[in-house]
Amino acid sequence: MDCQMCNGNGDVECYKCSSHNGASMGGEDHSDGLCDHCYGTGVVSCYHCFGKGSLD
């Protein structure tokens, strides 16, 4: 599953969700303004992206 993570500028960067190491580079950019956080199980949790890359 594709994951988006905050890059610290309020934008998202794309990652591919991995069940082993959380996230790796690559993946589709969905451009929906949301970030998905990768867990070790490969599951994502959605949150809004802010300028400092924090959870909402």
Backbone dihedral region for residue 17 (phi beyond 0: left; psi -120 to 50: alpha; all else: beta): beta
Q: What is the pLDDT of residue 20?
A: 43
Q: What is the pLDDT of residue 53?
A: 42
List the domain boundaries for the chain.
Answer: 2-48
Q: What is the pLDDT of residue 43?
A: 52
Q: What is the pLDDT of residue 26?
A: 44
Q: What is the pLDDT of residue 11?
A: 57
Interatomic CA distance for residues 3 and 35, integer angstroms: 7
Distance from chain centroid for Cα 4: 3
Q: What is the pLDDT of residue 7?
A: 54
Interatomic CA distance for residues 38 and 18, integer angstroms: 8
Task: Spell out, as residue ranges, where the chain has pLDDT lower than 50.
Answer: 1-2, 18-34, 40, 42, 50-56
